[in-house]
Structure formats: structure tokens, C-alpha cells
């Protein structure tokens, strides 16, 4: 039996029905559904390596709405639409009637007449991004019920203020490959640690995505940050509950050294404090430029008090055998390369550079898997037909 046959067999026998579902938060998916997304992503990757025609759709649109800058996720979404045969349209809100007061309900329906998938990135406003996605989801659901739309498109969260599911699922796929399967993650220690950056305002969704997903696999998840750099409390509660349910652990510490001690995986990443992001949201909505400038200077000054929170060779030496797997969503702030002082030393990053690129390479396939699973009732049969 080939690896592809094994993947298709698991998808078939698991029978996780994700048709007409949206992909907004990983903890809204059951474990069989999470595993099916990974298996479908790996199956699509295998089919592409075999040179098969992976077009699942012969007509239809995939619309992306990016309200923040993006490289990897933007091009991963575009690659996934190409892989599955959809036509990609990126909505520039400044060129739409949104600027003239068009409602979310109206925009969502107008975009969805021949659209199979809508991908949204909205991570700048704490308390708003996920809410906006729910509003779009409700608008297209109502549109389908009222006969405006033939069917509601699948919504994919390309990063919001709460979660970054396409990133964390790509991270999980990478870990499964590195450790020989999801079952081998049980008992492994992963350190999700804040790290110094000479910038401010980075979203909370990456660390929240990690603690919200990895606690479901019996891992020992340690969240580390300086005082005041906490995450959304409700997400931490989700992580603690899931760790208790799976026999793993969720621990919070205020020392990078403690987090790295004995760790099998490290994920040093900067983010803005929860309170700062809340204040930033209010200032952005008020278009208070002077207030934003003052907040940035204050936040940068606070960051500068924690320059020792960096992943260098000495910090890595504290990990399990000194050889923990380094992970990052990219781009990393690399000391002496992209900035004077940053999240990671040039030596550590270069040692793991190729692996972080591999980590990123799962994202187009994860997104394509969501496109497949959200639209087809029998995904294993669809993939089997492509296999030939």
C-alpha cells in the first residue's frame, strides 16, 4: 500500500463530514476533522508530486480579502486556488463600494454569486477580526436560505485577532512529519515563547493558534512571556481545558529559559501585549495618529526592556539534547540580518532555515484541503479519481 492509499483510506474510514462547513477556529473542529484536513493536505501534495491534474473545480471563484499585509498566506491562498482549479480574485476594498458605506451583508452576497471559497485576513483590530468573519458567514448563510445564492461559499480564516488556523495546521503537519506521526507528539514539550522584536503591534493569533491546537495532542505546551504580554484570556482557558482532556499540560511561565529547558520544540515569536492591542484598536478606529505614535513609542520602550528574550545558541543549548526543533511562522526578526537585535540569532536561524521554509510549504496544501473538504461530500472518492 502506498502512502497515498493510506491517506485516502484514513479519510474514507474516518468519515469526517466537513461539507458546507467554515474553517474559522481550529478548536471548533473535532480531532477527526483536524486529522482529515492534514490527511487531505498530504494527499493533494502526493498527487501533485505524481504529476496528477488536481483541479477539483472546473468553474467558480475564490475570493480573498486581505485587510493586513501578507506574503506567505496571500500567495498560499492563490497557489491553492490554482491547484484546485478555481479562479482567484483579490478584493481591494479601496476600489469597492465598501468605501461608500456598503454593508458587510451586501458585500458578502455580491461577492458570492459564483464563488466557492472566501478567504479573509483581518487581524489588526482586537475584538473585530473574528467577529467580522462571523458576520460574513451569517450573511452568506442567509443569502443561501433566501435564494439569493445557489449555495453559501466556504469561509477560510487566513488570520484574525483570535486564531491563525492555516498557520497552526501547517505547523502541526510539519511536526507530524518531523516526529513520525501525530501519535508521537504526545509527551513532547513545545515552548511557545515571546521573543524580542524592534517593532510593535504584532497580532496575538500565532501564539494563540499554537496553544489552541497543540494542547489537543497530549503535548506539554509551555507559554512564556514577560509580565504584561498576556494573550486573550478565553483562548488560554481553551488551551488549559484541552490539555486536561488529552493528558498533556498547559503551563505559563515568565522566563524564556524555563520554557526552553528540556523542550523538544521551540517557537520564539514576538507579539503585542493584549492590553496594548486593545488600546491600539480604539486608536485605529478613532484614526488618532498622534495617539498611535505615542502608543508605539511606549510599546517599543517596553519591548526594549526584554532584549534578552532571544533565541540564540545559549538558549538552544538548554533544550532537549541542545537540538530542539526551531519553528517560526516567518518572517523572523533575525539579529544582525533583518535588525540589530531580534527574535533569533543569525546562527540559529540559518541552522533551521530550510526547515522553516518546509514548515511554510504545507500552507498551500492545507488551504487546498479546506477547499476540497468544504465543498465535496466524499473527498476520498474525489481524490481517488484524481489518482486514477
pLDDT band (50, 70, 90) for residue 15: confident
Q: What is the pLDDT of residue 60?
A: 97
Distance CA 248, CA 334 (A): 32
Sequence-separated (6 or more) residues with CB below 8 Å from residue 86: 57, 60, 61, 62, 116, 117, 371
C-alpha cell at 126: 482586537
The pLDDT tens digits for 257-289 are 999 999 999 999 999 999 989 998 899 889 999
The Cα 106–Cα 98 span in angstroms is: 9
User: What domains sit in the chain, N to C, each tagged with a CATH number?
Assistant: 3-163+363-387 (3.40.50.1370), 168-361 (3.40.50.1370)
pLDDT in tens, 135-181: 999 999 999 999 999 999 999 999 999 999 999 999 999 999 999 99
pTM over 0.85: yes
Residue 253, class by beta-carbon neighbours within 10 Å (0-12 exposed, 13-18 middle, 19+ buried)?
Answer: middle
What three-state secondary structure class fits 57? coil
Q: Is the Cα dihedral 370, 374, 377, 383 positive or negative?
A: negative
Q: What pLDDT score does 43 carry? A: 98
Distance CA 333, CA 269 (A): 9
pLDDT at 125 over 90: no
What pLDDT digit, counting tens, does each position of 59-101 carry?
A: 999 999 999 889 999 999 999 999 999 999 999 887 777 766 7
Say if residues 373 and 22 touch (Cβ distance below 8 Å).
no
Amino acid at each position: 500500500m502506498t502512502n497515498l492509499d493510506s491517506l485516502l483510506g484514513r479519510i474514507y474510514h474516518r468519515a469526517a463530514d466537513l461539507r458546507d462547513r467554515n474553517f474559522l477556529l481550529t478548536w471548533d473542529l473535532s480531532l477527526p476533522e483536524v486529522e482529515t484536513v492534514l490527511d487531505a493536505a498530504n494527499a493533494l501534495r502526493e498527487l501533485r508530486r505524481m504529476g496528477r491534474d488536481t483541479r477539483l473545480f472546473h468553474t467558480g471563484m475564490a475570493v480573498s480579502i486581505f485587510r493586513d499585509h501578507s506574503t506567505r498566506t496571500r500567495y498560499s491562498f492563490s497557489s491553492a486556488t490554482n491547484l484546485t482549479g478555481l479562479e482567484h480574485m483579490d478584493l481591494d476594498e479601496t476600489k469597492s463600494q465598501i468605501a461608500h458605506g456598503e454593508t458587510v451583508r451586501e458585500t458578502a452576497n455580491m461577492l458570492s454569486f459564483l464563488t466557492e471559497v472566501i478567504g479573509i485576513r483581518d487581524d489588526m483590530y482586537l475584538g473585530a477580526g473574528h467577529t467580522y468573519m462571523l458576520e460574513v458567514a451569517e450573511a452568506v448563510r442567509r443569502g443561501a436560505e433566501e435564494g439569493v445564492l445557489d449555495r453559501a461559499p466556504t469561509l477560510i480564516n487566513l488570520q484574525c485577532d483570535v486564531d491563525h488556523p492555516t498557520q497552526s495546521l501547517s505547523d502541526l503537519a510539519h511536526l507530524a512529519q518531523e516526529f513520525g506521526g501525530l501519535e508521537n507528539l504526545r509527551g513532547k514539550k513545545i515552548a511557545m515563547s515571546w521573543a524580542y522584536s524592534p517593532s510593535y503591534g504584532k497580532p496575538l493569533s500565532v501564539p494563540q493558534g499554537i496553544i489552541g491546537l497543540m494542547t489537543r495532542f497530549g503535548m506539554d505546551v509551555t507559554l512564556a512571556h514577560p509580565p504584561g504580554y498576556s494573550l486573550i484570556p478565553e483562548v488560554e482557558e481553551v488551551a488549559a481545558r484541552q490539555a486536561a482532556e488529552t493528558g498533556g499540560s498547559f503551563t505559563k511561565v515568565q522566563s524564556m529559559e524555563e520554557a526552553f529547558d528540556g523542550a523538544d520544540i521551540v517557537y520564539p515569536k514576538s507579539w503585542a501585549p493584549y492590553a496594548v492591542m486593545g488600546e491600539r484598536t480604539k486608536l485605529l478606529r478613532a484614526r488618532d495618529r498622534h495617539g498611535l505614535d505615542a502608543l508605539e513609542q511606549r510599546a517599543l520602550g517596553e519591548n526594549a526592556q526584554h532584549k534578552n528574550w532571544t533565541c540564540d545558541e545559549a538558549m538552544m543549548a538548554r533544550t532537549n539534547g541542545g537540538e530542539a526543533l526551531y519553528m517560526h511562522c516567518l518572517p523572523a526578526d533575525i539579529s544582525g540580518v533583518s535588525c540589530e537585535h531580534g527574535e533569533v540569532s543569525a546562527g540559529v536561524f540559518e541552522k533551521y532555515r530550510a526547515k522553516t521554509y518546509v514548515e511554510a510549504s504545507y500552507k498551500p496544501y492545507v488551504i487546498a484541503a479546506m477547499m476540497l473538504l468544504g465543498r465535496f461530500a466524499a473527498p476520498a472518492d474525489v481524490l481517488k479519481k484524481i489518482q486514477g
